Amino acid sequence: MTIPHVPVIGLADCKVPERKADIVLEIGAACASSGFFQIVDHPVPQELIERAFETSVGFFALPVEEKLAFARDPWTNRGYEILERQSLQGAVVGHDELGISLETRPSNENLEMDLKEGFLIGDDKMSGDHPFFNRFAQGVNCWPDVAGMRDVMNEYYEACLKLSTDLMELVALSLDLPEKYFAPFCKDPTAAIRLLHYPPQRCNTKEPQIGAGAHTDFGALTLLATSGTPGLELWSNGKWFPIEPAHGAYVVNVGDLLQMYTDGKYLSSLHRVINRSGNDRYSIPFFLDGNLDVIVRSIYDASKSVNAVSVESHLRNRFDGTYQQPMPIEI
């Protein structure tokens, strides 16, 4: 059995040129083998991550009616994701253009709804006259009555945005591209913080209910913070492997768009969550999805227009496939 290569990579030495070259090589190797790696010694303060988790726990503890008042708006993609309303495994259906064939997909899951609730937050500082303001996944955030939530989440959003766009520079170098190759993709990007809460399993059935069904992430890179409770699994060589985050680490994974840029050299790998811990599990993924107007094409052959797709149309397709309630066709 081959255990997937998910290295723990320290970023502290990124400013030392010789070490930076090694880090770039390690990132490239991980993206091309499992599509996952972990980063430690990163610039996001642990204390900020902890405040983000405390705020998240505070939000999910609100009475359900209060949370429902902020139900996710399918156009802005912000707000509360109701328990058992999304089937992330739906994101795999119709996914063949990404090269995930039926034979290599896990087949033991039906399309049951995920045992999780969530809360989505996007860029909070885009002004109403910005050309993107009314576009898909843009707009106004919801701010429930949880002490300090807006400040903490905005601080956390900015920290993750900076880290993820810096990582895209390392990714560009790992592909022998200029460091700023993805700068247009990273300009005014769609990105989201997703607070997630996975309740413990309800009853002692033989098959535990899936927390997040098998899926790939839609954007370019995801930075996942966990509060230490296990549950994340990676599909590799026909099996599920648990990923155990190192303390203070971000689990970083390649999303669909980076796989498309690289013609499949970098892997947007299937993963899922099952909370078998018996306790509540909290996690906070941050998705760097990119500038809505950028057309994602092969970095190797820009003429391969057959696979070219705008960030916006890709995201809309993927979101449509996962939620019970489809988003409006147009606004």
Ligand X SMILES: O=C(O)CCC(=O)C(=O)O
Helix (H), strand (E) at residue 160: helix 149-174
Please name which of 211, 210, 267, 269 lies closest in space to residue 239, comparing C-alpha atoms. Answer: 269
Under rule CB under 6 A, residue 6 binds ligand X:
no
Q: If binding is defined by CB under 6 A, does position 271 make contact with ligand X? A: yes
The half-sphere exposure of 116 on its side-chain side, counting CA atoms within 13 A, is 26
Per CB under 6 A, 252 contacts ligand X: no
How near is the Cβ of 146 to ligand X at its closest, in Å? 20
Q: Which does 283 bind (CB under 5 to 8 A by kind): Fe ion, ligand X, none?
A: ligand X
CA-CA distance, 13 to 307, in Å (whole number)? 37
Is residue 225 classed exposed, middle or buried when 0-12, 13-18 and 19+ CB atoms within 10 A define those classes?
Answer: buried
Among 26, 217, 289, 312, binds Fe ion (CB under 5 A): 217
Residues 24-63 vs Fe ion: string with x where CB under 5 A?
A: ----------------------------------------
Give me the least distance between CB of 21 and ligand X, in Å please.
Answer: 30
CA–CA distance, 167 with 191 (Å, rounded to integer): 14
> How far is 48 from 156, CA to CA, in rounded Å?
7
Interface with ligand X, residue 224, by CB under 6 A = yes
Q: Please, which residue, 177 or 240, has the CB nearer to ligand X?
A: 240
* Distance (Å, whole) CA 63 – CA 65: 6
Give the strand order in the sheet containing 117-121: 8-10, 36-40, 250-254, 221-226, 281-290, 190-198, 117-121, 79-81
Residue 221 as a binder of ligand X (CB under 6 A): the answer is no
Interacting partner of 160 out of ligand X, Fe ion, none (Cβ under 5 to 8 A depending on kind): none
Q: Considering beta carbons, is residue 70 or 319 the nearer one to ligand X?
A: 319
Among 24, 196, 270, 288, binds ligand X (CB under 6 A): 196
d(CA 324, CA 85): 6
User: Which residue of the chain is nearest Fe ion when measured via CB?
Assistant: 217
Strand partners, 284: 225
Residue 114 or 169: the one with the smaller Cβ distance to ligand X is: 114
What's the min distance (Å) between Cβ of 31 and ligand X? 17
Asked if residue 194 binds ligand X (CB under 6 A), the reply is yes
- Chain residues that interact with ligand X, rule: CB under 6 A: 194, 196, 212, 217, 224, 226, 232, 271, 273, 283, 285
Residues lying near Fe ion in the complex (CB under 5 A) are found at: 217
